[in-house]
Amino acid sequence: MQSAGGPRNVTDKVKKELAEEHPSTALFREYLRIRSMHPEPDYDGIVNFLEKVASELDLKCQKLEFSKGRVITILTWEGTSPHLKSIVLNSHSDVVPVFEEHWNTDPFAAHKDEEGNIYARGAQDMKCVTIQYIEAIRKLKAEGKRLPRTVHLTVVPDEEIGGYKGMEIFVKQPEFRALNAGFALDEGLANPSDQFTVFYGEKCIWWFTVHSVGSPGHGSRFIENTAAAKLFKVINSLMEFREQEKQRLESDPRLTLGDVTTVNLTKLGGGVAYNVIPSELTATFDLRIPPTMDLKAFGDKLQNWCRSAGEEVTLEFHQKSMLQKVTSTDESDPWWKAFRAPCRELNLSLKPEIFPAATDSRYIREAGVPAIGFSPMNRTPILLHDHNEYLNEQVFLTGIDIYTRIITSLASVDPLPDEC
C-alpha cells in the first residue's frame, strides 16, 4: 500500500527536477508528452503548444488548414531585409505508433534516466529538431540579434503517413510561395559515429502490388499456368535484383544505403481453401530507388518481368514517386557554403548522403527550394520508429548551439544575383 505522503512526495520530486532542469530540456520533454501519434494524433495539442511558444518569443504565428484537422503552423521571425529569400526550418509534429509492451518506460512520459537519456516516441524523429529550432531562435533573440533574411519555422502534420495532407498540399499553395523560400532545413538521422550525416537528396518510393491471374483447380493435380507459378517468376526476378543491389552495396565501401535500390516483399495475398488452387494471387513490394536511377527504364524492366511471367500478370501502383531533385553540395553553391561554414568552425565532420527513405524534403525540393536533411545527433544509435527511442540531453543541447550557428549563417547569406 502506498503511504499517504507518497503521491505528494512524487509530485514534489518532479517539481524539483523541473526547477533544476535546463529550460530547453524542459520544453523538449513537454513537447514529447503531446500524444501526436497515429492514427489519432493530438494536433490540437501541438498547435496550442506552438501558439504559446510564438507568444513567448514574439513571433508571428500563422495557421493554415488545407485538409480538415491537419493544421500547418508557421512561426515567423522577420529579417531586417524581408525582401530577400527566406530560410525555412521545417519539421513534422506527428509520430509513429508504439508497442508499449516493448518499452521500458511510458513512451509519452519523456522519462530521463541518470545518464541524461530522454526516452519518448519522437525523441529522435523529430520533435528534438523542432525544439532545437525554437531554442536557437530564442537564444539569438535574447542576444539581441537581428538577421537579414526572414526565418520561417514550418511545423507540418502527417509526414509519417506520406505527407499527402501536409507538405505535399502545402507546397502547391500560394501561402507557400508567399514564404519566398530560398533554402530549407529538414530532418536527418542520428549517426552512431563522431560524424554528422547530411542528406542532400532522397530515394523515390515505389509501392506496388503484382496481380497474377491463372488457372484454378483441385489441389491434387498438376495444373498448368497457375497464378502461383507466374507470380513466383516475378518474385524471383525482383529478389534476384535485390541480391544484386545488396552485393553492390557490400562490395563498394564508397556506397551507402542511399545509393542502391532496396527491394522488400511486404505482403502476400490470395487463396480460398487448402485444397483449391486459387485463380488469383498477389504480392506487394516496397522499393526505395536512388535519384541516380533511370526511373523510366526501371519501370519498363518491371513491366518486362511481368510480361515474361505470362499473361494476366499486372502491376498496381500504390505510390510511385518520380521526384529526383537533389540539393547542390558544391563548394561554389552559396547555400551549401553557408551551411558548411559554421560546421567547419565547430569542427563538425559532415557525411553527405542520399536519405535511404523519404521525408518532406522531397516536396520542398520539387517546389524549387533546395533543402538539406540534418538532425545534429552524433554518437547516437539510430532509433527512429524503434522501441525505447531516446536522445541524450547533452546531444540535444549541443544541437541547439549548432543550429544557432547554422541559422545565423544561412539567414546572413549576401543578396544573390536574382535578389538584387
> Is pLDDT of 9 > 90?
no
Q: Does residue 74 share a domain with residue 102? A: yes
Q: Does residue 266 share a domain with residue 346? A: no
Cell 535484383 sits on residue? 241
Q: Does residue 187 share a domain with residue 219? A: no
Q: Does residue 253 share a domain with residue 373? A: no
Q: Does residue 164 share a domain with residue 19? A: yes
- Is the backbone of residue 312 left (phi > 0), alpha (psi -120 to 50) or beta? left
Would residue 1 count as lying in a domain? no
Neighbouring-strand partners of residue 67: 70
Q: Does residue 270 share a domain with residue 245? A: yes
Query: Which of 320, 337, 361 is the endpoint of a domain?
Result: 320
Interhelix angle 295-309/227-251, nearest 10 degrees: 140
> Is pLDDT of 5 > 60?
no
**pTM here?**
0.90
Q: What is the pLDDT of residue 12?
A: 61
Q: Cβ distance 200 to 400 under 8 Å?
A: no
DSSP 3-state assignment of 326? Answer: coil
Give the CATH number, domain containing residue 257: 3.30.70.360
Confidence of residue 17 (pLDDT cuts 50, 70, 90): low
Q: Does residue 330 share a domain with residue 194? A: yes
Would residue 58 count as lying in a domain? yes
Q: Does residue 336 share a domain with residue 192? A: yes
Can you give the residue range of the structural domain that contains 83? 10-202+326-419
CA–CA dist 223, 259 (Å, integer): 42
> Is pLDDT of 322 > 90?
yes
Number of domains in the chain: 2
Q: Does residue 385 share a domain with residue 282? A: no
Catalytic residue ranges = 94, 159
Query: Which of 305, 320, 335 is the endpoint of a domain?
Result: 320
Q: What is the pLDDT of residue 15?
A: 57
Would residue 146 count as lying in a domain? yes
Query: Which of 320, 338, 369 is the endpoint of a domain?
Result: 320
CA–CA dist 276, 308 (Å, integer): 25
The set of cell numbers assigned to 324 is 529526383
> Is pLDDT of 290 > 70?
yes
CA–CA dist 202, 289 (Å, integer): 9
The set of cell numbers assigned to 3 is 503511504
Q: Cβ distance 355 to 125 under 8 Å?
A: no
pLDDT in tens, 348-364: 999 999 999 889 999 99
Q: Cβ distance 159 to 68 under 8 Å?
A: no
> Is pLDDT of 324 > 90?
yes
Q: Say which DSSP state 265 is in.
A: E
pLDDT in tens, 197-256: 999 999 999 999 999 999 999 999 999 999 999 999 999 999 999 999 999 999 999 999
Q: What is the pLDDT of residue 11?
A: 57
Q: Does residue 138 share a domain with residue 53? A: yes
Confidence of residue 420 (pLDDT cuts 50, 70, 90): confident
Confidence of residue 16 (pLDDT cuts 50, 70, 90): low
Q: Does residue 348 share a domain with residue 331? A: yes
Would residue 153 count as lying in a domain? yes
Would residue 4 count as lying in a domain? no
> Is pLDDT of 27 > 70?
yes
Confidence of residue 314 (pLDDT cuts 50, 70, 90): very high
**Residue 354 C-beta-side C-alpha neighbours within 13 Å:** 22
Q: Does residue 376 share a domain with residue 241? A: no
pLDDT in tens, 175-186: 999 999 999 999
Give the CATH number, domain containing residue 18: 3.40.630.10
Would residue 162 count as lying in a domain? yes
User: Which segment of 224-228, 305-309, 319-323 scores lowest on mean pLDDT?
Assistant: 319-323
pLDDT in tens, 357-393: 889 999 999 999 999 999 999 999 999 999 999 999 9
The closest of 309, 342, 189 to 258, measured between CA atoms, is 189
Q: Average pLDDT of the chain? A: 95
> Is pLDDT of 13 > 70?
no
Cell 503511504 sits on residue? 3
Q: What is the pLDDT of residue 139?
A: 98
Confidence of residue 20 (pLDDT cuts 50, 70, 90): confident
Would residue 3 count as lying in a domain? no
Would residue 5 count as lying in a domain? no
CA–CA dist 1, 392 (Å, integer): 34
